[in-house]
Each structure stands twice: as C-alpha cells, then as structure tokens.
Chain A
C-alpha cells in the first residue's frame, strides 16, 4: 500500500513540475504559484527517489556492501573534487569578449576604479524581471573585474519592501552602497554606472540651499505650511539642506548644488537677482516655486518673473482652477488643480502618481524659447481646468467660471529648462585627447506652487516623489569621467517582402519538412 502511494508520489512530482513550467509560460505573473508548484514537485520527486533508495539499500547488505560503500565513497570524492574546481573557477575566471566592438568589455577607466576598490560595494538593481538582462549585460563585467562587487537584482513589484527601504521611486534604478553611503543611478550605461560608483566611493553629499528673507517656506518649520518633512526626505536622500540669505551674501556659495526658492511672498531685489544670474552663468541649478498673488492689488514678483522669462519660462498672473472633480477624491475643491499624467521628461519618466497643487499659478514654456533656451513642460492639469486671470472677481467671492480672457486647460503648471553655462569655471584638468570637454549646464525647474511640498500636502501620493525627483534631476552632478558608449556595431538586415516570405517557407516549412521526409523514406525502405 505504502509502496503504491510512493509510486504515485513520483508521478505527482512529474505532474507538478510540468504544471509549473506550463504556468510559467502562460501566466508569467503568477510567480508565487509556479515557484510553489515547482518546489512541491521537487519534494515529491525527492521523496520518491528516497523511497527507491530503501530497495537499493537492501542490496547493499551482506556480500555486496563492500562494493557499494566503495562505489559511494568514490562518487563522493569525485563530486568533492568537481565542486572544488567549480568553486575556484568561479573566483578566478577569465573571460573573452568575442564581439567585434568589444561591447561587453569595460573601459580602462572603469577597470581602474574597480581594481582600486578596498571595501565591498553592494549594488542593487531595481527593475522589472524582464529588464534584468539589460543590467546584467553590464554589471556582470563589474563583478568580473572586482571581487568586492556584489550585485543583487530586485523586482520592486515582487519585493516592494526592499524597494521601499531604498526609497525607490523609479523603475530601472541602480543603488550603489559603499561604507554605509548610498548613491542612485537610473541608467544602464557604463558612464553613468561608473560615475555612480566613483561618487559613492568619494562620498560627497550634494548641498541644497533654501533661500530666506522673502517669506519663503521654512525647512525646519513643523507647521502645516512648513517644509520640515520634505527637508527630512532630502536628508535621507543623501542631501545636505542649508539656508541661504541672499541679501547678506556676496555670491551664491560655491558648494551649492541646488538653490531652492520656495514660495517667496515678496519680490526679490535686483542685487539678489544678479547673484542668481551669476550663479546660473557658472552652471547653477535653480528650483523656483512661485505662488499666485491672490490679492488683486498686491505687486507681482516681477523681478523673478523677468529672470524666468530670460530662460524661456512664462509665469502669467493667474490662478489655476480645476473643476474635473478629481480633487474630490483627495478631499479638495477646485482651487487645488490635480495632475495625473505628465509630459515626457527625465523628472517625470515612469512617474504616474497623482499630484495636487493647492493654489497654483500657471507656468508655461515661452513659444520658441528665449535666448536660445527652450523650456519643457513637466506638469499639466486635466482638460477640465483653466487659468483664471480675473483675480479681482475671484477675490470678490463670485463663483469662478471660464470666460474669454482665460486660458483653457490643460494648463501647464511646471517646466524645466537647461542651457549651457556661459561663464563656466575652467576644468581642473585639461581634457585628455580624444575626449570631448565636459559641457557644464545650468538647469532651472519652475513650478507654479510651493504648497504642494508643504507638510499639509505631502499626504497626496505623488507630491513628495515629484519634489525629490526634481531636486535629484537638478543636483545631478557633472559626470566625473566620460566614457564613450560602446554600442554594438551596426549590422542590420533589410529584406523585401518577397525575401521575407521565402525565408519563412524555407525555415518553417521546407527544411524541417525535408528532414522529416528523409525520415519517412528510411522507414519506408526498412519495411
């Protein structure tokens, strides 16, 4: 009876393994099921084999025992030797890249960085499972060149806790961890990866300055309108957050990676604007958040608006209203425009969360750009929104409605712009021959609202991530080294429709058919 059950177990194991394979192909998303099935199948098969071993064991008794134990011992010795060989060959392997472009080989610069590694580096790749191969093609070479490198591949959809622990907001992020420090890279190119490695080894923390003196949001205030949550988020993202009183400064500090102007209530003075202009000319990064002026008679921040205009950014005097009802989902009214889809830009790449902007003004690119700088839209409201220019009637308490002078939705709420630095500091070392000299770039992100990142509004899903993405994009340090991308050689195939059809018949029908025909012929002859 027991024997029959054990016999069934063997077949059950086989069936389970087959089922696991079938599910793997038909429904790849059911990973937990097919993994479970495969393990169950493995266990059943092992049990079956064990049950058969009892019989084998019986034959080992008596006269044959000596042979049996000798054989078993020799098997163990051979197995041990082979495992040892493989263990060593995994540690001291040699690779030859046979592609003509040597596309899987690392450049000398990367190899040098890897060979100088003194402490272990842990690399975690957060991407969809199907994307792992793209990163593996590159990172396998990093582990080959240094035993200190350890790579882990994590699918955030399957292991969300790990992704959360590293604060991953974007798929395709690579986290470098070295001596307790972290550095994130969102690319699989050798240049970006090696630069991320260098940065995490050097351990420089980028500095973010928040301007003070015009009623801007305060990074230590815990009030509803305060910024201490977002300040904490920046700190945990490896930034140093400091305050900057421009009126007392002679220049923007040289170590500033990003300067944030978070919702000033009064306009900047001309000397302050000059400091910012000089900062941008040396390749500075500026994050401007301008709130709408609600009292119709109060002055607009004209100086800041003029600075933005210089960079191709239009910031008209209006307030954006949104009657789509989407705001009701998060408990707000039409004065809080909501964005759910974003024009393509590095900041909002793979970003699909809802963001909400309490009391916002529209910020849009100027058609055709200004001074050769063209801004790109980042955030757009839905179609059932508009930019209300008649602030007087609004403050008079009349219900808002769209009329002729208003700009219909979708309304742009935020833009980003880059431009070459006109007065970049000279590089410390002259570029090596064959390398292009590094382009220093100034960047500006402008958003028509500062409240979206305040303590009160950070509850909205995407607000925090959008703010951090914007600062991260701005703070992207200039690459420390430049590596020419090794693209595979261009070896394409062009076929006419006829040729393609010919290949189809040849490969799918004719060749296999001929071979099978030959088989039938042999069979016929043998009869």
Chain B
C-alpha cells in the first residue's frame, strides 16, 4: 500500500510540476463556468416569474443537476488528456524498463498510476466546489443530493481513468493513446442514444453500457447500488486488463 501511495504521490507531483494539470483544470472550468452561469441565471429569472404563481423552485433539481450532467460530458472530453500520458510517456522515454525491473509489483504500479490520475481529477472536482459554494452563499441548497452527485462524479471519473490507463498501456505514442481513448469514451457515450430507438431487448443493454447514463440518478440525488456496482466493475475490469496488457509486454519481450 505504501508503494502505491508513493507512486500516486510521484504521479500527482509530476502533473502539477508541469503546466499540464493547470491547463487541463482551467480548460475544464471554462465550459463548466459557462454552463453554471447559464443555468443559474435562467433559474434566477424563473424564480422571479414563479414568485407570482407560487410554484416550487429547487436549486438542486434545476441548477446543480443539469450543471453536473453537463460536467460529465466535459469530463469525457478532458479525461483522455489526463490519462494519455500515464504509460505512453514512460514507454517512449524508456523509463518503463526501470519500473518493470524494480521491486514494485505490476499491481502496485497500476494502482499508483490510477490513484495519481484520480488525485488530479479530485483536484479538478474540488475547484468546482467553489462554484457550489456560490450557491450556498446566495441560497440554501440541500447538501445530501450534492454529496450523491459528487460520489457519482468520482466513480464515473474512476471508470474513465481505468479505461484511459488501459489504452495508454498499449501504445508508446501519447497522441494515439489520447485519440483512441477519446473515441472509446465517445462510443461509450453514444451507445446510450440508441436506448430509446432500439428494441426492448437491445435498448436496456445499450443504456446499461453508456457510462454517462449511470450518472443521471446520482445527479438527481439518488444513490443506487446498481450504478455503484457498474462503475466499480468497470474500474476493476479496466485495471485488470491494464495488468494483463503490462504483463503481455513482459513476455512478448
């Protein structure tokens, strides 16, 4: 465990030592801020109009839910840039040989890299909490659905990272890793679109495959074991395949 944390720490440091982490977080916050502002200002306008009719206006269901659903799509675009370098960089520079011959086990290395990337992702989410704080300053949102939504974001990010790690471990070219990861994420997202038009047997399968679809319940403030297990399975499978891929490297020479 100590080795895992040491690698995670090293990974995280290397992200923040270069401008990459800041640029990624910055470019994530830009569209996030736009979505946040647009949903909030519409909500404020509606609040004013509804004041006459007396309907209920809920900042959790009308702002936070949709902002975070949109955030899940931005994450889908940003995440390949976080994971693309994890293995490819080491393969290109040759430092992978050092890692493979070190006393560290493959599993420790993989988990270390996974938690390193997750750390950067958590930092990214932490900044968005500033935005949520604005809502608490000017209003009175519920905090429990918010916790559910961030738990969902964390799990979804983990699933993205484990897939990204796997793809990065198969190539020594960062750009190829990034593009392939991006396309795979897009495909995982797109399959969800077919759910409504596909038949009653294919439909549930495609919507089950879609990574972002499982986040919708979290964004409402619902925690469902099936979504939690889905994300955990995806993370496990991604990391397991990464281990196999790294192992293959070894016996293929």
Per a CB cutoff under 8 Å, which of B22, B208, B217 touches A519?
B22
The A186-204 residues at the B interface (CB cut-off 8 A) are: none
Q: A523 contacts B252, CB within 8 Å? A: no
> B142 to chain A: which residues have CB within 8 Å?
98-100, 489, 491
Which one, A34, A95, A153, A508, contacts B37 given CB within 8 A?
Answer: A508
Taking A78-B240, A507-B33, A516-B26 as contacts, is the C-beta distance between A99 and B221 under 8 angstroms?
A: yes
Contact at B134–A506, with CB atoms within 8 Å? yes
- Contact of B224 (CB < 8 Å), options: A42, A93, A491: A93
| Alpha-carbon separation in the docked complex, A98 to B141 (Å) | 13
**Quick check: is B96 within 8 A (CB to CB) of the other chain?**
no
Is there a chain B Cβ closer than 8 Å to A90's Cβ? yes
Please determine whether A515 and B190 come into contact, CB atoms closer than 8 angstroms. Answer: no
Which partner residue on chain A sits nearest B147 by CB separation?
Answer: A98
CA distance A518 to B16 in the complex (A): 10
For A516, the chain B residues whose CB sits under 8 A away are 22-23, 26-27
Interface string of A6-33 (1 = CB under 8 A from B): 0000000110011011001000000100
Query: Using Cβ atoms and an 8 Å threshold, which residues of chain B touch A95?
Result: 217, 222-225
Question: What separation, in Å, do the CA atoms of A140 and B131 have in the docked complex?
Answer: 30
Binds B, one of A219-227, A256-264, A439-447, A492-500: A492-500
Per-residue contact bits, chain B 193-233, to A (CB 8 Å; 1 contact, 0 not)? 11011001000000010000000010011111110011001
Closest-by-CB residue of A relative to B30 is A512
B221: which A residues are within 8 A, CB to CB? 97-99, 104
A3: Cβ under 8 A from any B Cβ: no
Nearest residue (CB) in A for B35 is A507
Q: Does A38 contact B (CB under 8 A)?
A: yes
| Residue B18 interfacial (CB < 8 Å) | yes
> Is A85 on the interface with B (CB-CB < 8 A)?
yes
Given A104-B221, A499-B138, A503-B134, A515 and B127 contact (CB-CB distance below 8 Å) = yes
Q: Report if B44 contacts A (CB, 8 A).
A: yes
| Closest-CB distance, B242 to chain A (whole angstroms) | 11
**A476 close to chain B: CB less than 8 A:** no
Q: Could you tell me which residues of chain A, from 266 to 305, have a CB within 8 Å of some CB in chain B?
A: none
Q: Is the beta-carbon distance between B190 and A492 smaller than 8 angstroms?
A: no
Closest to A509 in B: B33
Cα distance A257–B127 in the bound complex, in angstroms: 61
From A86, A494, A500, A511, B33 is in contact (CB under 8 Å) with A511
Among residues of B, the one whose C-beta sits closest to the C-beta of A94 is B225
Given contacts A35-B197, A158-B197, contact A104 B222 (CB under 8 A): yes
Residues of B within 8 A of A100 (CB): 142, 144
Within 8 A of B (CB), among A100-121: 100, 103-104
Interface residues of B in 45-67 (CB under 8 A from A): 47-48, 50, 56-61, 63
A24, A31, A153, A494 pick with most chain B CB within 10 angstroms: A494
A310 in the interface, Cβ–Cβ < 8 Å?
A: no
- A-contacting residues, B1-59, CB 8 Å: 16-23, 25-27, 29-30, 33-34, 36-37, 40-41, 43-44, 47-48, 50, 56-59
Q: For A437, what are the chain B residues with a Cβ–Cβ distance below 8 Å?
A: none
Q: A42 to chain B: which residues have CB within 8 Å?
A: 187
Q: Let me know if B43 and A493 touch, CB within 8 A.
A: yes
Of B47, B58, B138, B241, which is within 8 A of A75 by CB?
Answer: B241
Residues of chain A contacted by B25 (CB below 8 angstroms):
515
Task: Tell me if B109 counts as interface (CB < 8 A to partner A).
Answer: no
B37 touches A519 (CB 8 A): no
Shortest distance between the CB of B234 and any CB in chain A (Å)? 8
* Interface hits, B92-151 → A, CB 8 Å: 127, 130-131, 134-135, 138-142, 144-145, 147-148
Determine the chain B residues whose CB is within 8 A of the CB of A500 once the complex forms.
41, 44
Complex Cα gap A75–B34 (Å)? 42
B186 at the interface (CB under 8 A from A): yes
Closest to B252 in A: A59
Q: What CA separation (Å) do A522 and B131 show in the bound complex? A: 24
Q: How far is the CA of A28 from the CA of B193 in the complex (A)?
A: 11
Scan residues 231-253 of chain B and give those whose CB is less than 8 A from a CB of chain A.
Answer: 233, 236-237, 240-241, 244, 247-248, 251-252
Chain B residues with Cβ below 8 Å from A519 are: 19-23, 26
Beta-carbon nearest neighbor of A31 in chain B:
B197
A426 to B18, CA, bound (A): 78
Q: Is A395 part of the contact surface with B, judged by Cβ < 8 Å?
A: no
> Of all chain A residues, which has the CB nearest B182?
A14
The residues of A that contact B241 with a CB separation of less than 8 Å are 75
**In the complex, which range does the number of interface residues on chain A fall in?**
35 or more
Question: Can you name the residue of chain A whose Cβ is closest to the Cβ of B227?
Answer: A93
Question: A473 contacts the other chain (Cβ, under 8 Å)?
Answer: no
The 8 A CB mask of B55-89 against A (1 = contact, 0 = none) is 01111110100000000000000000000000000
| Cβ contact within 8 Å between A78 and B134 | no
Q: Which residues of chain B have C-beta atoms less than 8 A from A24's C-beta?
A: 193
Q: Let me know if A38 and B190 touch, CB within 8 A.
A: yes
Chain A neighbourhood of B225, CB < 8 A: 89, 93-95
Please indicate the chain B residues that have their CB under 8 angstroms from the CB of A97 in the complex: 221-222
Is A429 in contact with chain B by the CB < 8 A criterion?
no
Q: What separation, in Å, do the CA atoms of A21 and B191 have in the docked complex?
A: 12
A20–B91 Cα gap in the complex (Å)? Answer: 33
Looking at B26, B50, B59, B131, the one whose CB has the most chain A CB atoms below 10 A away is B26
Contact B190 A20 (CB under 8 A): yes
Q: State in angstroms the CA–CA spacing of A158 and B248 once bound together.
A: 48
Please tell me if the beta carbons of A17 and B60 are within 8 angstroms of each other in the complex: no
- Chain A contacts with B in 465-495, Cβ cutoff 8 A: 487-495
A494 pairs with B193, CB closer than 8 A: no
Q: Is the CB of B135 within 8 A of A493?
A: yes
Q: A150 at the A/B interface (Cβ < 8 Å)?
A: yes
Interface residues as binary, A140-164 with B (CB distance below 8 Å gives 1, 0 otherwise): 1000000000101111001100000
* Alpha-carbon gap, A504 to B248, bound state (A): 51
Whether A74 sits at the interface, judged by CB under 8 Å, is yes
**Contact call A507/B131, Cβ cutoff below 8 A:** yes
CA distance A97 to B224 in the complex (A): 9
Distance of A171 from chain B, by nearest CB (Å): 15
A489 to B57, CA, bound (A): 7
Q: Which of A38, A59, A96 contacts B193 (CB 8 A)?
A: A38
Query: Min CB distance, B97 to chain A, in Å?
Result: 20
Do A491 and B58 have beta carbons less than 8 Å apart? yes
Smallest distance from the beta carbon of A311 to chain B beta carbons, Å?
29
Write the residues of chain B forming the contact surface with A, with a CB cutoff of 8 angstroms: 16-23, 25-27, 29-30, 33-34, 36-37, 40-41, 43-44, 47-48, 50, 56-61, 63, 127, 130-131, 134-135, 138-142, 144-145, 147-148, 179, 183, 186-187, 190, 193-194, 196-197, 200, 208, 217, 220-226, 229-230, 233, 236-237, 240-241, 244, 247-248, 251-252
Question: Lowest 10 CB-CB distances: which A-B pairs, in order?
Answer: A519-B22, A516-B26, A488-B58, A493-B139, A507-B33, A519-B19, A512-B29, A93-B226, A492-B57, A98-B144
Q: Can you pick out 13 interface pairs between chain A and chain B where the beta carbons lie within 8 Å of each other?
A: A35-B193, A82-B237, A95-B222, A99-B221, A104-B222, A493-B43, A495-B44, A507-B33, A507-B37, A512-B29, A515-B25, A516-B23, A526-B17
